Amino acid sequence: MFRQFLIATVLAQSITLSVFAAGPQAGQIKNLVTFGDSYTDVDAHADGGTVWPVFAAREGNFNLYPFAKAGAMCSSKLIPHAAPPVVESQLPKYFAEKDNGSLSALTPDNTMYTLWIGTNDVGPKGLLTGKQAAGVTLVDTVSCAVNWVQTLYNSGARNFIFQNMVPLEAAPLYLVNSYPNHYWTAPRNTTEWHQFVKELTNSGNAIARLKLQLLAPTLSGAHIGFFDSHALFTDIYNHPKVYLNGTAPLNVTGAVHSCIYKEGENVNDTGVCTIAKGTDQDSFFWYDELHPSVQTERVVAKAMSDVILRKSEQWITWLS
């Protein structure tokens, strides 16, 4: 009996070790460095409140170093846009601070780097409406994001989490029954947008995962995690009772701050807005027609801190 118990214990430990062989060790990460767009920008407050990196830093007791900026694409050379892109603005700012000693507390072992990009690249100011530079495709924008890992690795970074694109077709902006809103008031085929953005996000995520799987074995000593934001958001959409806890009826298709405009109306006008107040806001999946609510941010933050602390592997695959 004791021998059987001993064998079972060894097997269990072996399984545990194999599951956690990739990725950083529990308690290893002390610093969180974030890149991306408005989904991660701690200053833009595109969700009307606190964005996930702030919650995650509190949850995991990490020091936060935020570089993400609202409206960002991966590269302005691929999709020209005024917002600070990852390649031409966010990374140079990081390297400048690294060079001047502002980031001296960051070491390869104690720091996690995250990137959540793509929402704007595939959106109305990008691939969805053909705003990219000549010849640029989804493969180019995704390759740009994946190359973020290589660029930081070359500078000494070793721990990375790549967050894939969410199911944007579920956002009010892209619903089949969408309406003229803050992000688009011109005429459009809402059914076409709904389907096209679904194809872009699903294809982009598949390309990213394959590219990262090829890249991971070539980066000695690196830990690369593929965080499945798409699966997490899909689960919130399908099982809102598990995640949303506000005082209004649970809502995954509307928004905390929803504004309807007349077709072609200037978005600087106010539109006709419906705004949830107080704890009712925590019943909503979306804050506005494109951005997640603060409650959804809390969910993302808890999931991210848990995977970094190695408390859970539910939403992440460690590729190395």
CATH number of the CATH domain containing 132: 3.40.50.1110
98 found inside a domain: yes
32 found inside a domain: yes
229 found inside a domain: yes
43 found inside a domain: yes
114 found inside a domain: yes
> What three-state secondary structure class fits 67?
coil
257 found inside a domain: no
255 found inside a domain: no
> What three-state secondary structure class fits 215?
helix
User: Which is it for strands 31-36 and 111-116: parallel, antiparallel or unpaired?
Assistant: parallel
31 found inside a domain: yes
- The pTM (predicted TM-score) of the whole model is 0.93
Domains identified in the chain, total number: 1
Instruction: Supply the range of the domain harboring residue 190.
Output: 2-233+294-318
The tokens for 45 are 């407050």
With a CB cutoff of 8 Å and minimum separation 6, the contacts of 228 are: 164, 315, 316, 317
Identify the CA nearest to 258 among candidates 294, 284, 297.
284
Letter for the amino acid at 202?
Answer: N
Would you give per-residue pLDDT tens digits along the chain (320 residues)?
434 434 444 344 433 333 446 999 999 999 999 999 999 999 998 888 999 999 999 999 999 999 999 999 999 999 999 999 999 999 999 999 999 999 999 999 999 999 999 999 999 999 999 999 999 999 999 999 999 999 999 999 999 999 999 999 999 999 999 999 999 999 999 999 999 999 999 999 999 999 999 999 999 999 999 999 999 999 999 999 999 999 999 999 999 999 999 999 888 767 899 999 999 999 999 999 999 999 999 999 999 999 999 999 999 999 99
User: To 10 degrees, what angle do helices 294-308 and 229-238 make?
Assistant: 130
Spatial distance between the Cα atoms of 162 and 277, rounded to a whole number of angstroms: 33
The tokens for 104 are 């001296």
